[in-house]
Amino acid sequence: MGNPVADGMETDAMLKTAVKCHQDGNLSEADRSYSAILVEEPDHADALHLKGLIAYQSGCFEDAARLIQRAISVNPGSPEFHNSLGAVQEALGDPVLSIGSYVKAIENHPDYIDAYVNLARLRPDVAEVRFNLASILHRQGNIGSAVENYKAAVRLQPENVIALNNLGLTLQEMGKTSEAVDCYIRAVNLMPDFSEARYNLGRVYQLQGDLEKAVEEYRRAIRTTRGPSSRIFYNWALALQKLGQYDEAIQRYADAVHDDPGYAEAHVNRSLLLLLTGRYREAWPEYEWRRRRPDWLSANPIYPDLPSWDGSPMSGKRILVQAEQGFGDTIQFVRYLPLVKNRCGRIILEAPPALHPLLKSLSAIDEMAAPNPENAKKADAGVHLLSLPGIFQTTVNTIPMVVPYLHAPAGKIENWQDRISGNGFNIGVVWSGNPAHPENTFRSCDPGHFVSLVSLPSVNLYSLQKGPAADRLRETPGCAGIVDLGPELHDFSDTAAVIMNLDLVISVDTALVHLAGALGKPVWTLRYHQPYWVWGTHENKSPWYPTMRIFRQSPAESWSQFFQHIIETLHQYVYSPYGMREKEI
């Protein structure tokens, strides 16, 4: 007797060679190899099937049917074998048997697309076949063919609400939102309690900006849903939030969390609305869910072996405080480090190196480091920076807001004194934030709007803009009146030193406004119409920075109209004989 393992390895090698010949079109050589395998193993299912395919390709349909049926008797669960037999039976002129073989292939493997394609070719008038084929094509990402087959299913069965709903989804993915809306409306007209179609209709309305209609569809979807409802509540809350209906949006986020307690995005969005509406103590525990969001986890180092600090006194111990999110967030929340210092021995701050020269001015920091797992080995416990407001149970009335709490290096301040005009009113300007920020398109403006400020007598403008947006200044007509300092600002301490020599900073919502506020310098923050919790909803003052004034763009207001208000206010601010600066800042 031969060695079974060795014989098996030899058969596998023979089969691989035979298949290569088959693929290359060398059918006679492949057939001989399959036959040789069958001499050794008469019930080798793959060899039987493949030899049958060669017979089919050669026009020997009866031989092909016999061989493939033998393969099926050995391996009746193979959808490929049944599909091949169906093709042979078609060639033999027996569509009934052929349909039966394709159906058997699908029964063995519900996603076996080749059988669906063949079945749809034989029975294009069967709605279920076209629907199932469309569903598989949709899952595989073949959207165009999926739409074609869903449309066929709907033509054959106009009252199939599932097909209508799925057709709407595929059309929506193709960007054909109007056609998608028509499909969803047809579906809910046929079945008013079809929750899934109502939810999808609400999503399209929301994407189109028709928030009132979206809210109504979500409300109807919730009344009729029989399954999980967290995503309906979540998107309903998003629409309400955009409409400014914050209390109800908070409740809908709570409903989403009740339905799915681990829904981190719903927890975080609820916390942000609670913060926006001043309910800080209720918000902070929810805000901790940010650390479970995938985007947060991918952007922030986690040291699982480092115990978390909960605010308990740890006299003589070392606390690693990890900065997170953007530069502005770090500048805003390092104000809590003196409070941490009061409860521990030493603070190690892990923060981006670009901030280190500036943050050295904060005496509570004993050591600074760039993100690195080695930092955790030096510490007894760790905490993320934006967890500190919650640890210290911050309310709107207990924010540590004594400024300045950061300082520019004295030498750098002195170096800039000769560069900043000694005559007139000196203003630093910034028109764009980090281009990677998801809202940067909305919060940024064209530098040309700042050029309009140059015409004010005795006003000197200095660009503090960094990054790709700085190049736009040179392309802006009239930009000669703005002195571009950006190329000379290498880190935040350089920018801080310039700001200390200015009378005012006017900037869109970027890290710069946090820097000016932390330095205790007058700063005007130009905020586009979407509210953000740090700046509240309508006040022109900030609870975080006493020297800041917030200007809010209305939804219908263009940047040109917005800047007209800035010019008028600046004129009063600079030239008021009674010192508007003292009244407002």
The domain in which residue 372 lies consists of: 305-398
Distance between CA atoms of residues 108 and 366, nearest Å: 67
Judgement on whether residues 418 and 566 belong to the same structural domain of the protein: yes
Of the residues 398, 418, 434, which one is the last residue of a structural domain? Answer: 398
Judgement on whether residues 294 and 322 belong to the same structural domain of the protein: no
Tally Cβ neighbours within 10 Å of residue 258. Answer: 13
Judgement on whether residues 557 and 454 belong to the same structural domain of the protein: yes
Q: Pick from 425, 441, 438: which is nearest to 524 by CA?
A: 425
Judgement on whether residues 312 and 293 belong to the same structural domain of the protein: no
- How high is the pLDDT of residue 7? 55
Structure tokens at 530: 């979407």
Contact 217, 199 (CB under 8 A): yes
Is there a domain that residue 214 lies in?
no
Distance between CA atoms of residues 5 and 60, nearest Å: 35
Structure tokens at 309: 């600090």
Is there a domain that residue 274 lies in?
yes
> What is the residue-wise DSSP string for 410-476?
HHHHHHHHTTS-SSSEEEEEE----TTSTTHHHH---THHHHGGGGSTTEEEEE---SGGGHHHHTS
Q: Three-class SS of residue 371? A: coil
The radius of gyration of the chain's CA atoms, rounded to the nearest angstrom, is 34
Contact 186, 164 (CB under 8 A): yes
To which H or E segment does residue 99 belong? helix 95-108
Q: What is the number of helices (H) and of strands (E) in the chain?
A: 31, 10
C-alpha pair distances (Å), 418 with each of 8, 179, 502 = 87, 64, 12
Crossing angle of helices 113-122 and 95-108, rounded to 10°: 150
Distance between CA atoms of residues 379 and 376, nearest Å: 5
Distance between CA atoms of residues 305 and 563, nearest Å: 51
Judgement on whether residues 354 and 452 belong to the same structural domain of the protein: no
DSSP label of 524: E
Judgement on whether residues 249 and 380 belong to the same structural domain of the protein: no
Distance between CA atoms of residues 418 and 521, nearest Å: 19
Mean pLDDT per block of 10 residues along the chain (585 residues) reads 50 88 90 90 92 90 92 94 88 84 85 86 87 88 93 96 97 96 98 96 96 98 92 98 96 97 98 96 97 92 94 96 95 98 96 96 96 96 98 96 95 94 92 82 89 89 92 83 93 97 96 98 94 89 95 91 93 72 46
Is there a domain that residue 196 lies in?
no
Point out which residues pair with 266 in neighbouring strands: none
Q: Pick from 530, 524, 501: which is nearest to 512 by CA?
A: 524
Structure tokens at 122: 């034989």
Q: Pick from 81, 150, 90: which is nearest to 109 by CA?
A: 81
Is there a domain that residue 514 lies in?
yes
Judgement on whether residues 328 and 249 belong to the same structural domain of the protein: no
Structure tokens at 110: 């519900």
Q: Which residues contact 337 (CB under 8 A, 6 or more apart)?
A: 321, 347, 349, 362, 364, 365
Structure tokens at 253: 């986020």
To which H or E segment does residue 163 belong? helix 161-173
Number of structural domains found in the chain? 3
CATH number for the domain harbouring residue 366: 3.40.50
Is there a domain that residue 326 lies in?
yes
| Three-class DSSP labels, 30-84 | HHHHHHHHHHHCCCCHHHHHHHHHHHHHCCCHHHHHHHHHHHHHHCCCCHHHHHH
Point out which residues pair with 459 in neighbouring strands: 425
Crossing angle of helices 127-139 and 113-122, rounded to 10°: 150
Is there a domain that residue 403 lies in?
no
In terms of phi and psi (left: phi > 0; alpha: psi -120 to 50; beta: otherwise), the region of 393 is left
Q: What pTM did the predictor assign?
A: 0.83
Crossing angle of helices 195-207 and 211-224, rounded to 10°: 160
CATH number for the domain harbouring residue 256: 1.25.40.10
**Opening angle at CA 297, ends 291 and 302, nearest 5:** 85
Is there a domain that residue 93 lies in?
no
Of the residues 282, 298, 314, which one is the last residue of a structural domain? Answer: 298
**Cβ-count burial 217-256 (b if 16+ within 10 Å, e if not):** bbebbbeebeeebbbbbbbbbbbbbeeebbeebbbbbbbb
- Given the structure tokens 């947060």, which residue do they identify? 296
Of the residues 398, 424, 448, which one is the last residue of a structural domain? Answer: 398
Judgement on whether residues 270 and 371 belong to the same structural domain of the protein: no
Tally Cβ neighbours within 10 Å of residue 28. Answer: 10
Is there a domain that residue 152 lies in?
no
- Given the structure tokens 């929340």, which residue do they identify? 333
**Opening angle at CA 34, ends 28 and 36, nearest 5:** 105
Judgement on whether residues 580 and 482 belong to the same structural domain of the protein: yes
To which H or E segment does residue 552 belong? strand 548-552
- How high is the pLDDT of residue 9? 58
Judgement on whether residues 450 and 530 belong to the same structural domain of the protein: yes
Residue 437, burial from CB neighbour count under 10 angstroms (0-12, 13-18, 19+): middle
CATH number for the domain harbouring residue 546: 3.40.50.2000
Contact 336, 400 (CB under 8 A): yes
Judgement on whether residues 327 and 390 belong to the same structural domain of the protein: yes
Structure tokens at 75: 């391996």
Contact 407, 361 (CB under 8 A): yes
To which H or E segment does residue 381 belong? strand 381-384
Distance between CA atoms of residues 289 and 296, nearest Å: 10
Q: Three-class SS of residue 526? A: strand
Judgement on whether residues 245 and 333 belong to the same structural domain of the protein: no
Distance between CA atoms of residues 584 and 444, nearest Å: 25
